[in-house]
Amino acid sequence: MNVSKWAPGALLAAGIIAAGYGILLGAQRYGPRGRYSLSQVNGLCSSPAGQLAQALNSRASVNCATVAGTEQWHGWLIITGVAAVLIAAGWAVYAFRARRLTPARP
């Protein structure tokens, strides 16, 4: 298998960027004067009062759909980023051990 020796590092960098962006996405504040986290706004949209507001106001419905989608992206970015970091770390250890145990060419 001819894979670049930089592939684990690239995967590690991509994982860190994805997880970091997911964390930053969740850390943003929403609502009036930025008082609410993404999870709080999604909780409000899922509550009975939020459901009623969505039924009565189309803008609230669009905003709640956007918040729900953003919260899903937030979770998936973190999960994918952490998984990529773990895979890259395992790959790097495997590659290091394979190079160390390979006898030198005469």
* Residue 14: pLDDT over 60: yes
For the whole model, what pTM was predicted?
0.77
66 within domain boundaries: yes
Q: Rounded to an integer, what distance in angstroms lies between the CA atom of residue 81 and that of residue 12?
A: 9
Q: How confident is the model at residue 56 (pLDDT cuts 50, 70, 90)?
A: very high
15 within domain boundaries: yes
61 within domain boundaries: yes
Q: How confident is the model at residue 2 (pLDDT cuts 50, 70, 90)?
A: low
Domain count, the chain: 1
106 within domain boundaries: no
The boundaries of the domain holding residue 78 are 7-101
Alpha-carbon dihedral 27, 33, 39, 43, rounded to 10 degrees = 180
Q: How confident is the model at residue 83 (pLDDT cuts 50, 70, 90)?
A: very high
3-state secondary structure of 28: coil
- 8 Å CB contact between 67 and 36: no
Residue with tokens 């997880």: 19
More confident residue, 25 or 95: 25
